[in-house]
Amino acid sequence: MTGWQILAFLSGLAGLCAIIAATVSNEWRATSRASSVITATWVLQGLWNNCAGNAIGALHCRPHLTIFSIEGYIQACRGLMIAAICLGLFGSVLALVGMKCTKIGGSDQNKARIACFAGVDFILCGICSLSACSLYAHRITTEFFDPMFMSQKYELGAALFIGWAGGILCILGGSVFCFSVADSFSRSHSQANYIYRGAASHSHISAYTRGQTKPVKEGHAADNSSSSRVQHFDKNAYNQQAYNSGSAT
């Protein structure tokens, strides 16, 4: 899982960078060239600025004047993107602590729990980014295909696609971190079963060894008693032979 965690961290970090780039970008929507009368100029709008450019390359931007005059969906997208950035930063820090290749975080089970929390943060970060971009895109497409909408129509900007890609990368990285905790606990459970089986087999072998040593000791005792009987018989035979020779003389 170490290699997978490194890939997950890189995926989450790349997604976080993409979300930050999408948040500060001014290309959340751009004027439609088909409905624009003057095709040499275009208007770009983002969460923070309104920009106007022309074919020469000049680009002029001005921020939104007041927060109270901004439409509600723009404020909602701002909040979601800021929440996504915060969650991504927390997830990156927790991922560095919970990865197996780092030396901080304590035991493997503690590191697995921290990695799981990092995965949850990355997943929430991706969900917030996807929600914000989808909400903004829904508003653009609704106005574009509405025949009764007479104001300037806009198309999807590049920042929306960057935000979608960043959200998907964060969700993928977070999913891998969440699965790593299940792998860690399954490994610890298998190691516990291996230790239990090893202890059981060791006790069985020791009991079998004790059972085998007792007959061997009994066999040695029997051999010692038989040898003592032979020695005693030889001694009696020698005494009888000496007595017979003395009486003959």
Q: Is the model's pLDDT at 224 over the cut of 70?
A: no
In sequence order, which ranges of 99-157 are alpha helices (DSSP H)? 108-144
Q: How confident is the model at residue 235 (pLDDT cuts 50, 70, 90)?
A: very low
Q: Residue range 229-240: average pLDDT?
A: 47
Q: Residue range 137-148: average pLDDT?
A: 89
Taking each continuous run of H as one helix and of E as one strand, the counts in the chain are 4, 5
Neighbours of 129 (CB within 10 A): 34
Pairing verdict, β 59-63 and 29-31:
unpaired
Average of per-residue pLDDT values in the chain: 77
pLDDT at residue 13, as a whole number: 95
User: Could you give the percent of the chain with pLDDT greater than 70?
Assistant: 69
Q: Is the model's pLDDT at 55 over the cut of 90?
A: no
Amino acid code (one letter) for 143: E
Q: Residue range 126-136: average pLDDT?
A: 96
Q: Is the model's pLDDT at 45 over the cut of 50?
A: yes
Do the Cβ atoms of 98 and 177 come closer than 8 Å?
yes
Residue carrying structure tokens 């035991």: 107
pLDDT at residue 105, as a whole number: 73
Q: Residue range 9-28: average pLDDT?
A: 95
pLDDT in tens, 158-206: 999 999 999 999 999 999 998 877 765 555 444 444 444 544 444 444 5
Do the Cβ atoms of 30 and 160 come closer than 8 Å?
no
In order of start, what are the domains of the chain with their CATH numbers?
3-28+71-187 (1.20.140.150)
CA distance 141 to 44: 16
Q: How confident is the model at residue 34 (pLDDT cuts 50, 70, 90)?
A: low
Note the pTM of the prediction, 2 decimals. 0.70
